Amino acid sequence: GAGVSQSPSNKVTEKGKDVELRCDPISGHTALYWYRQRLGQGLEFLIYFQGNSAPDKSGLPSDRFSAERTGESVSTLTIQRTQQEDSAVYLCASSPRGTIYYEQYFGPGTRLTVT
């Protein structure tokens, strides 16, 4: 079946502009995660959605970052007033239920370059 998809695959933007990244989870997966991977570093957790519960935003690095998800469907990650340090690959993952036992399935990522 279809996996997690993300768009765009690549995005180049100028410093100070806003960007929106999109994630389509696997159908039926209630949990959705956003991670960031900067060059030479491990993946960093950003935000977690589980159904209609309040999201876990503990990983968002600043108030320029926000994310939305309607129900159990698409999610968008928005970065306002982008900075060069925001350049990274942004990865989305989903899992059938947000418990400890379920694997996370990752999308191909969006490579963001801020010039």
Partner 1 sequence: KQEVTQIPAALSVPEGENLVLNCSFTDSAIYNLQWFRQDPGKGLTSLLLIQSSQREQTSGRLNASLDKSSGRSTLYIAASQPGDSATYLCAVRPSGGATNKLIFGTGTLLAVQP
Select 63 or 103, whichever has its Cβ closest to partner 1. Answer: 103
- The phi, psi pair for 60, rounded to 5°, reads -65, 130
Site for partner 1 in 66-85 (CB under 8 A): none
**How far is residue 113's CA from residue 87's CA, in Å, rounded to a whole number?**
5
Using CB under 8 A as the binding rule, whether residue 26 contacts partner 1 is answered as: no
**Number of residues that make up the chain:** 115
Using CB under 8 A as the binding rule, whether residue 50 contacts partner 1 is answered as: yes
Using CB under 8 A as the binding rule, whether residue 107 contacts partner 1 is answered as: yes
**How far is residue 60's CA from residue 82's CA, in Å, rounded to a whole number?**
14
Nearest approach in angstroms of CB 30 to partner 1 is: 11
